Structure 1
Amino acid sequence: MRVIIDELRTPIVLAPMAGGPSTPELTAAVSRAGGLGVLAAGYLTVAATAERLAATRALDPGPFGVNLFVPGAATPADRYAGYLAELARDFPLGEARFDPDDWSAKLERLTADPVPLVSFTFGCPSAAEIERLHAAGSEIWVTITSVAEARIARDAGADVLVAQGAEAGGHRGTFADRAEDDVADPLTTLALVQLLTAAVDLPIVAAGGIATGAGVAAALAAGAAAAQLGTAFLDCPEAGTARVHRDALALDIPTMLTRAFTGRRARGLRNRFLLEHPDAPVAYPEIHYATGPLRAAARASGSADAVNLWAGQAHTLTSREPAADLVRRLSAETKSALEKALSRRIQCY
């Protein structure tokens, strides 16, 4: 079965970066340049999602996708109350609440007003939900971080797997975020792609730590059909990235996984807040909503020490250029890297 990535002029997919960076302009620019733009609908109401869909379509992008967050379950307040009480001594906080992110309404909207593809993060929709979207004409992508999750997505009817490696910036796309899993190292992108190609017969989009054409070429050589990049697009003028976030990308600062800002593991640049709260509890989206005001205040004041600077491990390779130019440059670099690799003499002993 042919899927959308088989028709792209270049195997480059825009990661759906919810919370600010994702915009209709960025999504459309990537698609118009021959890649595949994916619009983030996470944290948006269904009305706001519809507005962004209309704005994206008005830019005549060609095929593009929309990403939804699969809701989990509410967390008992006693698991995070102590952490928030500690934060409240130094920072303004909002209400800690569970929110299914307008899940049902967004599914209804995308069924009635379909897009070429719908991708999912934080879990896998049910087989019935996938079938509804299939019937409306949408292709289904599911973000996975392990072979076990890939098999669940395949059995539910997913068309494409987005293989998110440990290097990726932002939230981990695991189906379940469990503190007991922290003792195990998450799979890297290259390792995960190789394991998936041996275990699951579905197209794979590699995601995590890919910032150059050489990185895209490596993912393709490992068996991926395309590469998904997020951090690489954060400093594009079309992105809605905050100035404090843009300024930090070029700094040689290590990244780390943390739950400090949202209650769910995510990779960001190390700053004081991350380092001072290494034992934040598992409680998403409750902590995410509670820390909203402190993050907004930090962005407004330009304080890099108290804002979630989500970024992948290759963030220092990010450059400021229009998204279409970046897609074209990455495409040329990918072709060059593949040709260079093929030109090397490979001897068998």
Structure 2
Amino acid sequence: MEKNFSHNLAQEIYNYCGGTKKLSIKKIIPLTQQRASKIDVLVEILLADDKKIYLIFENKLDTSHHSNQLVRHIEAMKGEDESEKKYIYFKIGNLYDEDKNLPKEYILIDRKAILSIFDKIKIKNEIFDSYYNFLLNIEEKDNLEMKLIDENRQLTKAELEVIFWSQSGQYKILKKLQNEIESKIAIGTSFGRPWTNISILSIENIPNHWFGVFWRVDWRINKNTKTYTPYICLRYYKTTLDKTEEDDRYFEGMRKIFNELILKYPNLEFGQVHSVGNKEREVGILFFDNEKNTIPNIISEIGKLTKDFLQRVKDEKMYYSDAKYCMNID
């Protein structure tokens, strides 16, 4: 049973990666040599005619590829030029923008594809069943996040935690906002807590310096309710600690513009910003814990507010001369 299971799984993965032949498998060998240490999972399929097929997996849960690792894996396999190779980007968590930018050699197998492959295998196996149920639980959580994000009502504390304590939940919110403002999303963690940004203005061409304005989804204390609450905040950021008169002028100018603009958006409730910071300062903030600030309402209104804000910033020249817009406001 174990042999049939592994052989059937190898055949289904091979088929999904574009293989067209029925494999006559003699043996499946997981490789653990030094070369394989550069690769998450490396499997050798030994066929009846003693030819080999390699399955090279980059395994991701809720992160994306980085540091040119996929190209390095391709380089590591160049010694097997006579063997057929299938490079697989195996992503069971949420898909981010970076996951779409893969070398041409790689095939993406996401969670839905994995479940589809598993559904074709009719063999009962304890380890397989456990992993299958693990994937189903992730899929159910993903569906719940989407359901809650789309509900135009005040969410409970528990429902907010489902979305905002999750990197994928935060990303889904800004992905919807990305449809409105067409900009780049970045993800990360701080002290184990996820955060997600979407840039609207940046400067990158000064050595060792970056300036930007972005919307950030994260958690902090709401000064009005005195509770730890998820928020979306427009932030002004620079990588250098020194604060110049020019920095202050641009920041104060942006905050003034923002405060004037929010009068046009009475169906949103804006919170109290933090007024301190050298590298990072808050221009405006909204918390997701009241009747007005439903997720659909914020997504709809923030897109229009952002365009209004950038137009005023552009008109009043409240930015570094070589800064670039991350979205089209014309």
Q: TM-score, normalised by structure 1?
A: 0.21
Larger radius of gyration: 2
**Which structure has the higher relative contact order (CA within 8 Å, separation 6+)?**
1
Which structure's residues are more often strand, by fraction? 2
Q: TM-score, normalised by structure 2?
A: 0.22
